[in-house]
Amino acid sequence: MLGRYTTKRSTRRWPLAFFYNILDIACLAAYILYYENNKLLSKKSYERRLFYRQLGRELCTPFVENRSHNAQIMRHFTTKVAIESFFGRAINPYAQPTASKSSKPQAQFDSTGRKKITGVCHVCLQSEFKKRRKTRKSCSLGMSNAVKEVCFIRNIFEELELNCDSISIYNDNQAAQHIVANEFVTETYETYSVEQGIVIIQYQPTDQLMADIMTKPLCKDKHENYVKLMNVYDNNKLLSKKSYERRLFYRQLGRELCTPFVENRSHNAQIMRHFTTKVAIESFFGRAINPYAQPTASKSSKPQAQFDSTGRKKITGVCHVCLQSEFKKRRKTRKSCSVCEFPICDEHCVSTTTCEECAK
């Protein structure tokens, strides 16, 4: 099902391939939930494709709308036409966006679409040389998203009544760390979290920051260094990596997954009566198989089902519900209730293996 409509693309970055797989699974799960909650809708052969198209459009809309207000992006004719066709209307990139409910001031743009000069860097101004370095950038407190995620996870632990100490956030940007610790900066969510001891900001050099292996395309030396820091280098080094090692692993994995199903079929006489099927199953196990042999007794106290010469279950008895009814029918059946273990017919079987009396 995942292979029919997939987002996978050819890539050599395994985190990106892992992300494609997660995206496919999430889309399929969303479609299943949508269909189960809307069973009155007519199910068509192309309904899943339409659902994926609508889902992708709703996910892309905020990003496309954000790009439509960027004059540098909208100055390209093909990009402007594509974004306008996406929304179905003409777009003026120089128009000021509507005021938001938050108190954060909106960034001002000039005629070229670049941010206007916001002021002088406050870190340079407070330094020893008191440089007045003009900048178009305004501080957004770089670790904002990381601190919010940490506080969110900490709140979950507190709701589960789990003790959680201060959580360390490792960062390789000394400027961002200086901004959070600077007393002249206006108090924000990040500085409040640091003061309350919820998070601890610690500096770590870039060559020791293991998070880069999940976010950046690395060269061979850096990748091996990060893998070694994660303590998985020695385990892979013990295996002799061959060109066909992946094929052997897939073959062994497929064999282990198929063994229970093939073994179950080997006890079915109706399937084993075909010569080619019998030869294939015997070659799979490497031994002769007698489909009429009784299976070995399991450790559970539940009695094993009896089979006749054709491989079908023997008659277990008469349905006890029909026998106790007004007409006292003696209806023979091969089923038995999994709770009371009395014979039960299809008419009085509530679920697959439970009778009406036990289900009450």
For the stretch 154-184, pLDDT in tens is 888 887 777 777 778 787 777 666 666 664 4
Please tell me the predicted confidence (pLDDT) of residue 186.
Answer: 46
Is 50 exceeded by the pLDDT of residue 301?
no
Residue 140, pLDDT score:
43
Mean pLDDT of all residues belonging to the chain: 76
**The pairing of beta strand 167-171 with beta strand 317-318:** unpaired
Closest CA to 310 of 276, 271, 281: 271
Indicate the domain borders of the chain.
Answer: 1-68, 115-204, 205-232, 240-292, 313-360
Identify the burial level of 329 via C-beta atoms within 10 angstroms of its C-beta, where 0-12 means exposed, 13-18 middle and 19 or more buried. Answer: middle
Q: Which residues of 172-192 are buried (b: 16+ CB within 10 A; e: fewer)?
A: eeeebbebbeeeebeebebbe
Whole-angstrom distance, CA of residue 130 vs CA of residue 125: 4
Max mean pLDDT range (86-90, 94-98, 328-332) = 86-90
Measure the CA–CA gap between 43 and 40, rounded to whole angstroms. Answer: 9
Which of 21-25, 190-194, 241-245, 352-356 is predicted with the least confidence, judged by mean pLDDT?
Answer: 190-194
Q: Quick one: what percent of the chain has pLDDT higher than 70?
A: 72
Average pLDDT over residues 53-63: 90
Pairing of strands 167-171, 134-135: unpaired
| pTM exceeds 0.85 | no
Q: What is the pLDDT of residue 189?
A: 57
Question: Is 11 in contact with 17 (CB distance < 8 Å)?
Answer: yes
Query: Residue 185 pLDDT more than 50?
Result: no
What SS3 string covers 249-274?
A: HHHHHHHHHHHHHHHHHHCCHHHHCC
Residue 106 has pLDDT above 60, yes or no: no
> For residue 99, is pLDDT > 80?
no
Q: 142-151, 261-270, 316-325 — which is least confidently predicted?
A: 142-151
Cβ(204)–Cβ(212) below 8 Å = no
Strand bridging mode 134-135 / 332-333: unpaired
For residues 146 and 32, the model is more confident at 32
**Residue-level pLDDT at 253:** 92
- CA pair distance 270, 222, nearest whole angstrom: 59
Report the pLDDT value the prediction gives residue 259, as an integer from 0 to 100: 92
